[in-house]
Amino acid sequence: MFGLIPKEEKFFQLFKQMTENTIEGALALKDMLDNFENPAASQRKIKDIEHNGDSLTHEIIQKLNKTFVTPFDREDIYALSSALDDILDLIDASAQRIIMYNVETIPHEAKSLGFIILQSCQVVDKAVAMLGKQSNEHIFEACVEINALENEADRVSREAISRLFDEEKDPIQLIKWKEIFETLEKATDKCEDAANILESVVVKNA
Amino acid sequence: MFGLIPKEEKFFQLFKQMTENTIEGALALKDMLDNFENPAASQRKIKDIEHNGDSLTHEIIQKLNKTFVTPFDREDIYALSSALDDILDLIDASAQRIIMYNVETIPHEAKSLGFIILQSCQVVDKAVAMLGKQSNEHIFEACVEINALENEADRVSREAISRLFDEEKDPIQLIKWKEIFETLEKATDKCEDAANILESVVVKNA
Amino acid sequence: MFGLIPKEEKFFQLFKQMTENTIEGALALKDMLDNFENPAASQRKIKDIEHNGDSLTHEIIQKLNKTFVTPFDREDIYALSSALDDILDLIDASAQRIIMYNVETIPHEAKSLGFIILQSCQVVDKAVAMLGKQSNEHIFEACVEINALENEADRVSREAISRLFDEEKDPIQLIKWKEIFETLEKATDKCEDAANILESVVVKNA
C-alpha cells in the first residue's frame, strides 16, 4: 500500500478541486473546437475557469504556509499545484490563439487534440484521487496512460503540421495553425509533467 | 517572522549582486528599445552584463560546494541562482534578436515590454533583499506583484502579435517580430519562475 | 573525494546504459546529417534507440520504487533519468522534423550542430561515469565543458538562422529550417540541463 499518511486531508481535497476544474476547462475547449458556435463566449468561459484555477493554486500555497505537518513534501505539494495550474494555462492559451488569429474553421486534427486533452485531464484527475488511498501500482498505471495519451497527441499534432506544410500555401495561415496545433499538444505535455511529479512523489514515499 | 537563520550571509549578498546585475541588464535593454541610437553597442553592453551574471552564478556554485551549513536548502540555492541567471539570458536573447534580425524601428509594444521587464527585475531584487530578514507576507506580496507584471507582459505581447497578424503582410517580418515579442515576454516568465522559487523556499521554511 | 557511497551500484550502471544509448542516438543523427543517404532509415533507427531509452527510464523508475537505500536522493535519481531521456527525445525530434519537412539537402550548420550534440553526449556520459567515483572537481570540469558546447551550439544556430533571414526568400522554407536549427540546438540545452542536475547532486552531497 501507498506509504503516505493523509495527515492533512484538506490538501488532497484542494488537488481534487484543481483537477476537476481542469476537466471543466478541457470540456469547454472541446466544445469550442467541436461546435465553434460562439468561440468568443467559449474563450471567456475558459478564462473564467482559468481564474478559478489561479484561486485554488493560491489557496494551496497559503495553506502550505500555515500547515506544519503536510501529507507529503512541501516542495512536491508546491510542484504538483504548479503543474496542474500549467495544464489549464495551456488550455486557455489554445483558446486565446483561436480567437486572436481569427480562425474561420476548425480542422479535424484540432478536434482530435481537444478530445485527447480532455482524456488526459480525466486520467490526471483519477490519479490525483488515488493519492494516499490506492497502491503505487495503480498510480503508475494512470501515469503510463497519461504518457500514452501524450504520445498520441504528439503523433496527431505532427501529422497535422506535416499536412499543413504540404497543403497550406499562405505562410501566415501556416504560422497560425502550426502554433495552435503546438499549443494544444503542449497541454498534454503539461499533463505528462503532472504525471511525472505524481510518479516521483510516489517513488519518494515508497 | 521568516524562519531562516542567515547562517551564511555571503549567499544573500551574492544573490543581491545577481539581482542588481539583472537590473543593469534590464536598464540597458530599456535604453536600447527606447532610444535605439546605437543598438549594436547596447547589445554588446548587455552581453558583458550577462557574462558578469555567469561569473556570479559560478561563484555561488563554488561557494555551495565549500560550505557546510547553508541558509536554506542547497538545491534551492542552486535553483534560485539558475532562475536569476535565466532572466538575464532572456534579456540578452531579446537584444541579440533585435541585432540579428536587422530591425529598423522599435514598435511601442516592445518599449512597453522593456519597461515591464525592468519593473519585474526591480521587484525580484526587492524580494531577494527580504530573504531572511522580512516576514513571509512581504515576500508573498512581492511575488504577487511579479505575477501581475507577468500577466501584463502577456497581455501586451498578445496584443502586439494580434496586431502583427492584422497588419503585417510580409511573413518574414511577421516571423521576426513575433519572436522578438515572445522573447521579451519570456524574460518576465523567468522573473515569475524566480518568484515561484522564492515562494517555495519561504513555504518550505515556514 | 565525492561524498556519495555507491550503496546501489545498479543505479550507476543503468545511468551509464542511458548515456551510452544517447551516444548511439547522437551517432545515428550525425550520420543522417553528414551522409543523408537514406534519411527515412536513419530516422527509424533513431526512433528505435529512443524507445530503448524509454525502457531504460522505466527500469530506473521501477527500481527506485523497490529500493530502500539509494546512492543519492530519490528525486535526483528521478530528475537525472528524465533529463537523460529528454536529450534523446530532442535527437529524435530533430530527425523527425527532417523527414516531416521533406528537406532536400543538409546545410553545413546542421552538420556542425550534429557534431556538437555528439560531443555533448560524450561528455555527459563521461560525467555520469564519474558519479560516486571521482572528485567533485572532475565532475564540475565536465559540466563546464558541456556548458561550453552548449554556448557553441547556440552561436552556430544563431548564425545559421541569421543567414536564413538574409538569404531565404521563401518563408515556408525559412520556417522549416529555423525550427530544425532550433530543435538541434535544444538537444544541447538538454545536455546542459543534465549537467546542471549532476552539478546540483554533487553540491548537495558535498
Q: Each residue of A148-173: pLDDT tens digit? A: 999 999 999 999 999 999 999 999 99
Report whether C19 contacts C130 (CB < 8 A): no
Over 90: is that where the pLDDT of B2 sits? Answer: no
Average pLDDT of B83-92? 96
Asked if residue B143 is part of any domain, the answer here is: yes
pLDDT score of C163 more than 80: yes
- A188 lies in some domain: yes
Residue A64 lies in a domain: yes
The predicted model gives B168-193 an average pLDDT of 96
Say yes or no for a CB contact (<8 Å) between B100 and C158: yes
Rounded Cα–Cα distance for residues A189 and A87 (Å) = 8
Q: Which of A20-24, A124-128, B6-10, B103-107 has the lowest mean pLDDT?
A: B6-10
Q: What single letter denotes the amino acid at residue C165?
A: F
Query: What pLDDT band is residue A6 in, cutting at 50, 70 and 90?
Result: very low
| Contact residues on chain A for C171, CB-CB shorter than 8 A | 171
Give the residue from chain C lying closest to B96, CA to CA. Answer: C158
Residues in chain C: 206
Nearest 5 degrees, angle CA C134-CA C125-CA C136?
25
Cell of C19: 548515456
Chain B CB contacts of C4 under 8 Å are none
- The residue with cell 541569421 is C162
**pLDDT tens, position by position, A94-110:** 999 999 999 999 999 99
pLDDT in the model for residue B76: 85
Query: Half-sphere exposure of residue A195, counting CA atoms within 13 Å on the CB side?
Result: 27
- Among the listed residues C152, C145, C162, C157, the one whose alpha carbon sits nearest the alpha carbon of residue C185: C157
Burial class (CB in 10 A: 0-12, 13-18, 19+), C68: exposed
8 Å CB contact of C136 and B78: no
Residue A130 grid coordinates: 488515488
CA–CA gap between residue B50 and residue C157 (Å, rounded): 19
Q: Give the number of other Cβ atoms within 10 Å of residue B124's Cβ.
A: 30
- Per-residue confidence (pLDDT) for residue A206, from 0 to 100: 65
Residues of C in contact with B66 (CB under 8 A): 206
Residue A57 pLDDT exceeds 50: yes
Chain B contact residues (CB < 8 Å to C)? 61, 64-66, 74-75, 78-79, 82, 96, 100-102, 171-172, 175-176
- The overall average pLDDT reported for chain B is 91
List the chains bordering chain C where 3 or more Cβ pairs fall under 8 Å: A, B
Nearest residue of chain B to residue A62 (CA atoms): B203
Average pLDDT of A81-103?
95
Number of CB atoms found within 10 A of residue B5's CB: 11
- Give the C-alpha separation, C206 to C1, whole Å: 9
Using the beta-carbon criterion (under 8 Å), do B65 and C140 form an inter-chain contact? yes
Residues B4-51 pLDDT 10s? 444 567 888 999 999 999 999 999 999 999 999 999 999 999 999 999
DSSP code of residue C134? S
Say what the ipTM of the complex is: 0.77
Per-residue pLDDT, C5:
44
Alpha helices in chain B (DSSP H): 9-35, 39-66, 74-100, 108-130, 136-167, 171-204
pLDDT at C72: 80
For chain B, how far is it from start to end, CA to CA, in angstroms? 9
Beta carbons of A203 and C64 less than 8 Å apart = yes
Residue C148 covered by a domain: yes
Q: How far is C21 from chain A (nearest CA, A)?
A: 21
Residues of A in contact with C100 (CB under 8 A): 158, 161-162, 165
Q: What is the mean pLDDT of residues C143-167?
A: 95
Give the pLDDT confidence of A16-51 residue by residue, as tens digits.
Answer: 999 999 999 999 999 999 999 999 999 999 999 999
Task: Identify the CATH number of the domain in which residue B68 sits.
Answer: 1.20.58.220
Domains held by chain B: number: 1
Using CB atoms, pick whichever of B161, B162, B199 lies closest to residue A61.
B199
Contact C196 B61 (CB under 8 A): no
Residue B1 lies in a domain: no
Dump pLDDT digits (tens) for C66-112.
777 777 877 788 889 989 999 999 999 999 999 999 999 999 999 99
- Of A65, A75, A102, nearest to B136 by CB-CB distance is A65
Residue A4 lies in a domain: no
Signed CA dihedral, A71, A77, A83, A84: sign only: positive
Length of chain A: 206
Quote the pLDDT of residue B204: 75
Q: What is the pLDDT of residue A8?
A: 67
Max Cα separation, chain A?
Answer: 60
Whether residue B119 has pLDDT greater than 70: yes
Q: Where are the alpha helices (DSSP H) in chain C?
A: 9-35, 39-66, 74-100, 108-130, 136-167, 171-204
Q: Please check whether residue C3 lies inside any domain of the structure.
A: no
Q: Given 3-state DSSP classes, what are the helix, strand and coil percentages for chain B, each rounded to the nearest 5?
A: 85, 0, 15
Under 8 Å CB pairs connecting chains B and C tally to 39
Q: Which residues of B touch C160 (CB under 8 A)?
A: none
pLDDT at B70: 77
Using the beta-carbon criterion (under 8 Å), do A165 and C64 form an inter-chain contact? no
**What is the mean pLDDT of the segment spanning A99-122?**
96
Measured CA to CA in angstroms, residue A113 lies from A159, A177, A185, B75, C49 at distances of 12, 13, 7, 37, 27
pLDDT band at C6 (very low <50, low <70, confident <90, very high): very low
Closest residue, chain B, to C169 (C-alpha): B172
With contacts defined as CB-CB under 8 Å, which chain A residues touch B199? 61, 78
Radius of gyration of chain B, Cα coordinates, nearest whole angstrom: 18
Higher pLDDT, C52 or B79: C52
How much is the mean pLDDT over chain A?
91
Q: Which residue has the higher pLDDT, C76 or B162?
A: B162
- The verdict on a CB contact (< 8 Å) between A96 and B196 is no
Task: For residue B4, tell me if it sits in a domain.
Answer: no
Domain that holds residue B94: 9-204
pLDDT at C133: 81
pLDDT-above-70 percentage for chain A: 96
Res A70: pLDDT: 78
Answer yes or no: are the C-beta atoms of A156 and A109 closer than 8 Å: yes
Nearest CA of chain A to the CA of C100: how many Å?
Answer: 6
pLDDT exceeds 80 at position B186: yes
